[in-house]
Structure 1
Amino acid sequence: MSQNNDDDHPILTTYLHGLTLVLEGLRVHESTMQSPDSILQSVFGFGSFRPGQGPIIDHLMRGENLLAVMPTGAGKSLCYQVPALLLDGLTVVVSPLVALMDNQVAGLRANGVDVACIHSGQGREVNVSEWRRVAAGQVKLLYLSPERLMTPRMMSAMKAVGVSMFVVDEAHCVSKWGPAFRPEYAQLSDLKTHFPDARIAAFTATADAATRDDIADALFAGRGRVIVHGFDRPNLSLTVTPKIDRKKQLLAFMDGVRGQAGIVYCLSRKNTEEYAAHLRAAGHKALPYHAGLDAGLRFDTQERFMAEEGVVIVATIAFGMGIDKPDIRFVFHLNLPGSMEAYYQEIGRAGRDGAPALTHMLYGLDDVRMRRQFISEENSEPAHQIREMKRLDALLTYCEASTCRRQVMLSYFGEDSPACKNCDICEDPPEMIDATEPLRFILDTIIETGERFGQAHIIAVARGADTERVRQFGHDKLPSYGKAKAIGAPYLQGLIRQALASGHIDMDIARYGALGVKDKGRAVVEGTATFECKSIRTNTRATRKDRDRTKLARESGLSDRDATLLARLKSCRAALARELGKPAYIVFSDATLIDMAGKRPTSRAQMLEVSGVGEVKYDRFGAAFLEVLADVN
């Protein structure tokens, strides 16, 4: 019996060939309609991915685990939101803060994405309703806190629903090596055991090499990719100045950013109230924010910041992680942050729209003492305290840098870069001076007083002050008494800061900030080494370079005509946002309105070519903006 041959059945062959062509056409059509690029354009309104986003999406679509370290503002959310809309099954996003979840969900819903969110800030009926939509397969994305996800009941429910991907946002909270370790995040290491077929994607903007390894090991036992897309935020201008008169220095800075949205960080709740009032008295729209305020007031303050133009928040670090406002034009630190990672995260809240933004930090030795005291008083293991002290030391090195600040910062995260031309050091290089003699006066005083006293007393003795405390200890009889009498106290304070950062001096927190002399300092005392440092600025007057930097925040690159149109578009956006009860950026970002003002679309097709205008957003808001544009075209 002979085998069948296709040539023996020409009608069947023709039919199968035609069917193959139809199926191939359907596959091509489906891939065209449901590709990452088409989702990006139709849902989110962007014509192309930012550098680095495409490969991450490809890895997730292939089912790989990964940890991605991306600078704030680089678009990490799209890296998991796009695959979530393409994959079969549910994507669960684990997020640490209610505000962070709410902002992400509001943005997705504005783009027409059906997303669910379950958290303690919602009533039980709302949460039950949200879960029913998940169980019915009506949503592609579910936002949860780690505490709620890792309960036995929720884990069982997840297994019944089926999860394609888990996304761990702010993944540095997973690592015991990280500066923001959260025990509830550590439980996420069980996800791979319970859901072996689900891919796990972790995202963070802040993780050094040890932290990255720890996250990857905890979440997927190292069986996945670690992708580092750099830490550089070139649009941020970096400035650090010694603390001389904080109120005067803050006002001098604020004169250059009047009417801009920004954050001023303080160390204490009391200071947030005091400095907010100080700014309001100077004509700024400033509001305090700290964890001690009534929850309703905190919510209202946050909503004003998100919706109104030019609001300045004066806050403790309780404010920030859940704030996804793209057009924050500056972050000002009145005190030294806790570590380089904390500082990087906090300044990262500025300029997420990619436009120029300013960062400015004041710091003094009292900040160093307080930060080291906080670390020593933590109820944590000695190894953790040592790591935190080293992180603080790295930040001091950054503060006292004599070369490009960006290079110093990026080097800490293991990244090389050329000089940035966008920091105070690059724009106004400091004069290097030989300060061996004045430092020797200070070191002699520290040694002769028994390395038992802090900065204020050491300077008093070195300058020959006639105080009760100096006489009480007999320090007016020391050989070092009055040796630095001709040198101003602010200069000596700056000298001590630089010597502390360079490792010539140490500070003993167990002895209330007593200064000690390290080996490098003893070499200066013995005359076998010299000490070179930056020239020390002792006044609060803003330099020309300072004023030039503040101008960056006001330059949009638009013509006067386009700037007038932009103002009208923002007014339209504000009205729509008020109707929705949502922050203005949920309607359109500043970057989208600037592109709109430049392109001046007159039709639906042209409007869809504006960056950030997707089909759903056009259907909801497009007509209102076209009406504004028609009035000026």
Structure 2
Amino acid sequence: MARKALGLTDLRPGQLAAMTALAEGRDTLVVMPTGSGKSAIYQVPALLLRGPTLVVSPLIALQRDQVEALRSHDEDAVSLDAGTRAGKRTAAFESLREGETEFFFCAPEQLARPDVIQELAAAAPSLMVVDEAHCVSAWGHDFRPDYLRLGSVAQALGRPVIAALTATAAPPVRAEIAERLSMREHVEIVQGFDRPNISLEVRRMLDDPAPEIVTAVTAEPMPGIVYTASRKQTVRLSGLLSEAGVSAAAYHAGLRRAERDEVHGRFMAGELDVVVATNAFGMGIDKPDVRFVFHAEIPGSPDSYYQEIGRAGRDGQAAKALLFYRPEDLALQRYFTGGVPDPETLARVAEAVAESGSGSDRRGLRERTGLSPRRLTALLDLLERAGAVRLGARRVAPVPGAPGPREAADLARGLAERRRDVERTRLEMMRRYAETDDCRRRFLLGYFGEELAAACGNCDTCRAGTADRPQESGPFPMHAQVEHQAWGPGQVIQRGEDRVTVLFEEAGYRELHLDAVLEQHLLRETPP
């Protein structure tokens, strides 16, 4: 089937297991690096399941690329976005109703429209694919509130089989994806995170790293990406690189769509050597010959860092990931994670839902609260988790017997504060990565729940000879289930000579000194 329909000559590790699970009607969560064939995972079983396939993707450009690729194999596919003209929109729904379209692509924002839900429900899709599924998770590095309604959308469409696909997801992200999408006894396929061809390096900086960044870029083979935390820095660094004779351009969310598309297109076509960007650049970038990814400041988590450096060396050839680390830059990332909604705004939203009686649509709530769609969706999610509202694909309704608006607001704010605190534990893990003298690859893979038995030999600490340590033995080995007196249950993800790192279900990532743990009996191992 794969060879005949899509021209595949062989399958990569994990593909067959995922295809088989979906073809058997089982919800499936797939974590595989970009370029490992995640699209084929849903395209093959889609042709075996009766009914069309809905593919939810946040990137219009990527949707169009996949539509063109499917059409090149004579498969009927259409995409729908906010810019689709009325005539094409009507034709897309007609082909869906007539059973002529097998693959229907759209962004999650489109699924907030009642007419889209109505048309899709009538077509009774057999498979719902959630691409970039980490966007559904508040634990994830690219959380997008528009993804929050996808679980209720699946119910409104008759609950098709769900395929959730992502390139990078640590254990808590995977757990939240499954929960948010209401996946049923799902199959989880995680294909190795290791990218051994990428050399890892950290440079500790005391002053402005810009001059060293320019020097480092000019010494590397092109093309490459430089990530920075602010829009202002993208302009500054791209200007300095241009002055040094490098063909460089800035990319950030503040540019007009046409400007962003131009930079993206020139980079993909090989007309730019370097893009200096915020994290707005990269999702869906599948350029195989990127030779380096540099970070001008420390990112907010190992999740985002690993996703971004994973854009280098997709052709399997040698590539480089270099982080310029200044401890004071941690303060900027703490600022980014510091915001929690004020209780007055939360109470206003809860009160608007309560006053609606049998429920209200999101447009009506936006009009009554004066909030943007994105902001409203995020607050409704918190209120739902506090037990005050019920989110449907089309309407938001109060929960009978739920706490009043003020109490619901306090509960929701508490959840937001916990989310912030967990985010900060992830930033602490990023600091540990930057400052460790152990093998950096072993540290990153451990964070994602994967064990690297020996030092990798392809990072700066390995080259310096500080990472060659034996495997640790004794209590609390890797992946051990444990319980802390205050923080509750968790899992060991790092085990060093004198410390242990645990991912707690409620408290996030915590690093504990082993002597204190043993002396004070802070942890106990529990049955898996």
TM beyond 0.5: yes
1:540-571 alpha-carbon deviations (Å, 9 max, x no partner): xxxxxxxxxxxxxxxxxxxxxxxxxxxxxxxx
Residue 140 of structure 1 deviates from its aligned partner by: 1.5
Deviation at 1:270, TM superposition (A): 1.5
In structure 2, the residue matched to 1:623 is none
Q: Could you say if the C-alpha distance between residues 276 and 112 of structure 1 is closer, same or farther in structure 2, counting changes exceeding 3 Å?
A: farther
Q: CA deviation at 1:166?
A: 0.2
Match of 1:369 in 2: 331
Structure 1 match to 2:12? 50
The answer (yes or no) to whether the contact 1:70–1:230 under 8 Å persists in 2 is yes
Cα drift, residue 324 of structure 1: 2.8
Q: Distance between the aligned counterparts of 1:248 and 1:78, measured in 2?
A: 44
Distance 1:278 1:71 in 2: 32
Structure 1 residue 66, shift from structure 2 partner: 1.0
Give the residue type in structure 1 aligned to 2:82: S
Query: How many angstroms does 1:221 deviate by?
Result: 4.3
The amino acid that maps onto 1:405 is R
1:253 counterpart (208, 216, 236):
216
CA positional deviation for 1:235:
2.4
Show CA shifts across 1:138-197 (max 9, x none).
221111112212433222211222211000111122223333332221211124433446
Q: CA–CA distance in 2 between the matches of 1:121 and 1:190? A: 25
| Distance in 2 separating the partners of 1:364 and 1:229 | 33
Which residue is 1:529 aligned to? Answer: none
1:300 and 2:335 matched: no
- Unmatched runs of 5 consecutive residues or more in structure 2: 342-412, 469-498, 501-510, 517-528
Quickly say closer, same or farther: Cα 1:238–1:105, change in 2 above 3 A.
Answer: farther
Q: Distance in 2 between matches of 1:315 and 1:106?
A: 28
Residue of structure 2 equivalent to 1:405: 440
The Cα shift of 1:309 comes to: 4.6
Judge conservation of contact 1:191–1:219 (CA < 8 Å) in 2: no
> Which runs of 4 or more aligned residues in structure 1 lie more than 4 Å from their structure 2 counterparts after TM superposition?
none
Among 130, 153, 176, the residue aligned to 1:168? 130
The structural deviation recorded for 1:81 is 2.0
User: For each residue in 1:202-224, what CA deviation from the matched residue of structure 2 results, as whole angstroms up to 9, or x when unmatched?
Assistant: 01122222222222123234422
Q: Match of 2:199, SS? A: strand
Matches of residues 86-165 of structure 1 in structure 2 within 5 Å?
Answer: 86-165=48-127
Distance in 2 of aligned mates of 1:176 and 1:288: 28
Deviation digits for residues 391-420 of structure 1, max 9, x if unmatched?
A: 000011111121111110011111101322
1:330 to 292, 295, 308: 292
Equivalent-residue separation in structure 2 for 1:232 and 1:431 (angstroms)? 17
Q: Are 2:190 and 1:190 aligned?
A: no
**Corresponding residue for 2:427?**
392
Paired residues of 1:71 and 1:232 also in contact (CA < 8 A)? no
Q: Which protein is bigger by CA-based radius of gyration?
A: 1
Paired residues of 1:103 and 1:322 also in contact (CA < 8 A): no
Report deviation, 1:273.
1.2
Q: Give the direction of change, closer, same or farther, for the CA distance of 1:123–1:309 in structure 2 (3 Å limit).
A: same
Give deviations 1:81-131, integer Å, cap 9, x for gaps: 222234332111111232332333344344544321000133333333333
> C-alpha separation between the residues in 2 aligned to 1:378 and 1:283?
44
TM-score (norm 2): 0.70
Letter in 2 for 1:407: R
When normalised by structure 1's length, the TM-score is 0.59
Between the aligned partners of 1:351 and 1:80, the Cα distance in structure 2 is 25
Choose between structure 1 and 2: higher helix proportion: 1
Change (3 A) 1:197 1:375: closer
Identity of aligned residues (%): 42
Structure 2 contact 80–106 (Cα < 8 Å) conserved: yes
Counterpart of 1:83, as a letter, is: P
Say whether the 8 Å CA contact 2:54–2:128 is kept in structure 1: yes
Query: For 1:322-345, what per-residue CA distance to the aligned partner results, in whole angstroms no more than 9, with x for missing partners?
Result: 423232222111111111111111
Q: Which one-letter code corresponds to 1:36 in the other structure?
A: A
Q: Deviations over 1:237-266 (max 9, x none)?
A: 2111112452332233223324x2221111
Distance 2:291 2:340 in 1: 34
* 1:426 corresponds to 2:462: yes
Residue aligned with 2:33, SS: coil
Change (3 A) 1:431 1:297: closer
- Residues matched between the structures, number: 399
The alignment status of 1:353 with 2:281, answered yes or no, reads no
Instruction: Letter of the 2:285 partner, please give it.
Output: I
Q: Is the 8 A contact 1:100 1:321 kept in 2?
A: no
What is the alpha-carbon root mean square deviation over aligned residues?
2.6
- Structure 1 gaps of 5+ residues are 1-34, 433-501, 504-517, 524-633
**CA distance 1:283–1:99, change in 2 (3 Å):** same
Q: Distance in 1 between matches of 2:9 and 2:219?
A: 35
2:483 maps to none
Matched, 1:38 2:38: no
How far apart are the structure 2 equivalents of 1:519 and 1:152? 50
Alignment equivalent of 1:207, drawn from 169, 174, 177: 169
User: Higher relative CO (CA 8 A, sep ≥ 6), structure 1 or 2?
Assistant: 1
- Considering fraction of residues, name the structure with more strand: 2
Residue type of the partner of 2:449?
A: G
1:220 aligns to what?
A: 182
**Do structure 1's residue 414 and structure 2's residue 449 form an aligned pair?**
yes
Task: Write the distance in 1 (CA, Å) between the matches of 2:86 and 2:317.
Answer: 41
- Provide the residue aligned with 2:417 in structure 1: 382
